[in-house]
Amino acid sequence: MKKESLFHTARMLVLPAVLIAVYVLQQTFPAIHRQGALWSDHPRWWQFFTCNFLSADLWHLSMNAGGLVVVYSQFAPRIRAPFLLMAFVLFSTVSAWAFFHLCMPSHAWVIGASGGSFALLGFFSWFLRRARFQVYKFERVGFPILPVLIAGILCEALFARWRMPQLAWQLHALGFVLGISTAMVAHFAYAASHAGARIRREEDFLHRFCLWIHAGLCRMKQISEIQGTIRG
């Protein structure tokens, strides 16, 4: 049991450790920021991906790393870590692309992992309606995820309006909308393909949905291997 707990903790800290390592490299090699940040005037295709792993300062780094730890602590025990990592990379890249085309002002740049974090929170808030935390020795504290996320984004919009105009709250909102929209589509697609299945709990649905995705990926791998054998 202790080894499993240590393995879960190490897995939870992989992405935050990557952000910390990239930040150290940023301070050592300033060219990483110039080439990795998403610039509105002259974007490069790789910047939609690399901008999600950069941080502006230590406060920004701590917020991004802390957000990822919260996401992993809530959802990693229920699904496989590779799926969570793949979802973060995909959501963060698409969120950056949408922000660039819809909301990004001219002569500006954007960095940070919060778009992917909000997308993951939006995705899983459709399936797991309440977040639960263990506060020291007290009982587990729970609160509804969806209203807290919406209220947080609205507070960010007001804060950006009056105090911090450089805060890209639109990126957080787009990530949240992307995540919850993907969850709704996945929910209805799974329900349509499993019309006779009865799912009693939201956690059970999320587990079955991830197994469904994994089975589909394995099937695609088998088909590619068969095609390669035929061609060979």
pTM of the model: 0.77
Residue (of 216, 223, 232, 210) closest to 80 by Cα position: 210
Is 102's pLDDT higher than 50? Answer: yes
Q: Which of 161, 78, 66 is nearest to 112 (CA)?
A: 66
Q: Which residue has the higher pLDDT, 30 or 220?
A: 30
The band of 126, judged by pLDDT with boundaries at 50, 70 and 90, is: confident
Instruction: Identify which of 228, 197, 227 has the alpha carbon closest to the alpha carbon of residue 212.
Output: 197
Distance CA 148, CA 43 (A): 33
Phi, psi values for residue 55, rounded to 5°: -135, 145
pLDDT band at 190 (very low <50, low <70, confident <90, very high): low
Q: What is the dihedral of CA 27, 31, 37, 38, to 10 degrees?
A: 170
What is the rounded average pLDDT of the residues 71-82? 68
- Candidates 119, 120, 115; CA nearest to 170 is 115
pLDDT computed for residue 167 by the predictor: 85
Residue 109 has pLDDT above 70, yes or no: yes
Q: Which CATH superfamily is domain 2-179 in?
A: Rhomboid-like (1.20.1540.10)
